[in-house]
Structure 1
């Protein structure tokens, strides 16, 4: 498992071209090691020395790339979402239907957590700290909701989706549904077929659970 980062999304301090820049081989080893160690032991039980040992570097080397363990975790979270947004942006060039776009968002969200260490990091460890939750909401959740709202509004303008439904409510429902499935996968060990599950989530979101013309 490798979390690829870019200088725009990563918080690493090095950018002097001396092997300390985000994206360098050693930087990536440290980042990947941090995800695995934190997922296995928990954030508060994962000293920098354990991350360094897993990455095969000296303890002090960590600080050439990251200011603190907090920054390592923050960078790992940023990397997951940077990849998510890059995939969505690229796919939307070819997949233009609002429903298909919603399905793809749900699918990629599920796929981004297929690595169990990443899933544990995102669904449990990140949520141990009010500070990280606040940063996540500000840095990533707001953007996620904005992307979904834009798709929903486009569908409403095209007459595909009901115009009397709040686009913000739909966006939060979608995130909440996928987020809960991912948490369930972490706690139960269940694996989901990302594409099939995404299609079913969007079907329920768009059509509910009533059968045919039934009224409830």
Structure 2
């Protein structure tokens, strides 16, 4: 059973999310929070597998709460929910370690699929968010590009191939087929890459590759 914490300042939204998720059969909403501060407290108390977190909340916003939650050992996967896809929310949430970013008009079946996906180590982004991220980072040289390429140089050549595939939005199964590997091997490479780079999830790998301009790091 996948245990979920729902954090949103609107009671009606929390009720709706609970109804959608628990109708799936394999998901249980174990706690609710009305603001970011409560989300941090309830996440520590109940240790959910997934947190569905509204971005805009009183007392403490969702991105700040996400940062606090991710400081804990073995933090839950957090999917951010909002009615907006404005840049400052997207990048703030993803760089803080969100496993996904969905708009509140996401179809119920897609919301359920997203919760299942992040528990399996995959990232989930609303289509409009994915396009925005790719448009901003694709081929863009920034002051952080050299630093990003240097960080990526910690990876082996195979790990870099996989990192670029992750940045293209491929799943472990798709990467395995493309590179002629087993899915288990791909998952192990991704886990090692996360540890080497000090990152929380696949989304952050993708952002690092995009920061690097999608290019290979310099060879040592």
Fold equivalence (TM over 0.5): no
- Structure number with greater CO (CA < 8 Å, separation at least 6) is 1
Structure exhibiting the larger radius of gyration computed from Cα positions:
1
> When the two structures are superposed, what TM-score results if normalisation uses the length of structure 1?
0.31
TM-score, normalization: structure 2?
Answer: 0.31
**Larger fraction in strand:** 2
